[in-house]
Amino acid sequence: MSGRAGADPSGERALRLVTAPPEATGPGDRQVVTSSPAVLPPVDDDAPMTRQERKARTRAALLEAALDQLESRSFGAISLREVSREAGITPTAFYRHFESMEELGLVLVDESFASLREMIRAARAEVQAPGDDIRASAATLIRHVGTHTSHYRFISRERSGGIASLRSAIAQEIESFSSELAGDLRKYPVIGELDRPALEMVASLIVTVMVATAERLLDAPPDAEAQIRRRTEDQMRVIVLGALQWHHS
């Protein structure tokens, strides 16, 4: 490809793009709307709950119980009976909320990636000056892993685990996330001029860095966070600058 006239040779503008695309401004702009894990209101012990509220709380308790069990074991190693007992219900009552443990696992995958998308929105909101995107993204990812450790541990273990349906769902979510990011990168100068396959490759590399960073953080001591953050920032910069060089070659 030929270079773009007047392109910023320092690549500083391109460093604004990582995981912080501009907000949609009109009907033609692409916006991604995702569901988030349900946040239930605090319980008022004196106020009777409706049947729907009780069902929602029990469902949330089952998901939380499964995550607790998954702290030290794979999904295939936990049982419906164990999850039900920890949630305070009978195994029979489990089926009022999920058809099977496999369905519960798929819901956990959906919740985990909804949580990841929330992280991206948070990173975008934190950017205050050009060039801050990479630093904000890395810092937000580290903070998000710290507050959603169970979800990240679940995804890290099960994306190469023994349950085929979970592996497939996780792979599809990662592919979808990369595709959405590629669409957002199209809005940026210079790098947005790459063809679709090249943009998808750049987005995939960025998402791979994010997943790898999350996995490193899961068992890293607190004093390693700064080093992991710097490495993540450097990896993202290399991807962006490499894409620019490819564009101008």
Q: Please provide the average confidence, as pLDDT, over all residues in the chain.
A: 79
Rounded to whole angstroms, how far apart are CA atoms 7 and 9? 6
For the stretch 38-87, pLDDT in tens is 444 555 555 678 989 999 999 999 999 999 999 999 999 999 999 999 99
For the stretch 197-232, pLDDT in tens is 888 999 899 889 999 999 999 989 989 999 999 999
Rounded to whole angstroms, how far apart are CA atoms 187 and 194? 11
- Determine the pLDDT at residue 65: 97
In the predicted structure, residue 246 carries a pLDDT above the cut 90: no
Alpha-carbon separation of residue 156 from 13, 20, 37, 65, 159 (angstroms): 33, 24, 19, 18, 6
- Determine the pLDDT at residue 190: 78
Chain region(s) in the chain for CATH 1.10.357.10: 102-249
- Determine the pLDDT at residue 188: 74
Which residue, chain included where needed, has tokens 């929105």? 121
- The tokens for 11 are 């690549």
Q: What is the SS3 assignment for 98?
A: coil
For 195, counting Cβ atoms within 10 Å of its Cβ (0-12 exposed, 13-18 middle, 19+ buried), the class is exposed
pLDDT band with cut points at 50, 70 and 90 for residue 124: low
The residue ranking higher by pLDDT, 30 or 112, is 112
Task: Please give the CATH superfamily to which domain 49-98 belongs.
Answer: Homeodomain-like (1.10.10.60)
**Long-range CB contact pairs, 203-207, < 8 A, 24+:** 203/178, 203/179, 204/178, 205/239, 206/18, 206/19, 206/178, 206/181, 206/236, 206/239, 207/174, 207/177, 207/178, 207/181
167 and 161 in contact (C-beta within 8 Å)? yes
Average pLDDT rounded to a whole number, residues 143-151 = 88
Chain region(s) in the chain for CATH 1.10.10.60: 49-98
pLDDT band with cut points at 50, 70 and 90 for residue 156: very high
Q: Considering the domain 102-249 in this protein, what is its CATH number?
A: 1.10.357.10
